[in-house]
A and B are shown apart, each in its own frame.
Chain A
Amino acid sequence: MNGGATSFEARELACIRGERPVFRAVSFALTPGGALTLRGPNGSGKSSLLRILAGFLKPAGGMVAWNGEDMREAPEAHRARCHYVGHLEAVKPTLTVAEHLAFWAAAKGFAKPADNILSPLDLEDLADVPGRFLSAGQKRRLTLTRLLATPAELWLLDEPSITLDDRSAARLEKVLADHRTGGGMAIIATHAEIALPNAQTIDMAGHGIAADALAGAAAQATGEPDYGEW
């Protein structure tokens, strides 16, 4: 991690998916050790917000910034700073657990994954097991171990505890706590209860757009919508 006073913030983000405005006026700021929980019913835009923060999706308005600098100015630096774990596991049936971690570390530009990363989510006994023999929960744990394989300040997690049993969910909470103690930040969309002491919370339901105000409302609400290059 870079140390120093890194801050990650979103200003007045708005999102339109397929002509349907999803949310508007989402703002927050995180400092090292900070965490943010995204709550809200299905379809309220939690996943879309995470994809915007990861840089996959262009926001219809607003900006995402590191230390006040728009992340679009330095997309490579942004990618190096964040890990994104979505709904998909990215587990190949024919590769073993250890091979997955080695590849994910290399895909982030590291020669090999960090040491002792199998124990936090209890994968020690599975290192040589190919993906097709893993259960849903084991695949989930493998995917989450990707967060530990290479360092990144910001973790963007979409329903990380889905398919995890209680014991593994507790281990995940420990991993998140350690990450934050080390100066990391985490943004987590979840329906389940994940213990995140002192985390901010955004209820996405409060950022929806009423049906009668749809026409042009997103643009007005966020001022000048930004259709510029991503």
Chain B
Amino acid sequence: MCLGIPGEVVEIHPEQPDLAKVNVSGVKRLINIGLLSDDPPKPGEWVLIHVGFALSKIDEAEAAAAMAFLEGIGQAYEDEIAALRGSLIE
């Protein structure tokens, strides 16, 4: 029910602009983008899909920032473990 899945907008329906075709890992479906009418998505942009509607656009910059944080944590962790191992050699 909370199920929301990211999908890439492939094309806007030529006759019905509140419908768009999205691609989720190779699977395509028409969804309603009426809830994003203030800032409609364009082909190539990603949206969050819930029961046949796009609820929100996925902000790629924020996603990249989230990833960068997680990668940073990962790197810091690796550095720490390496440092720890280094100090055990003695």
A joins B in a complex: no
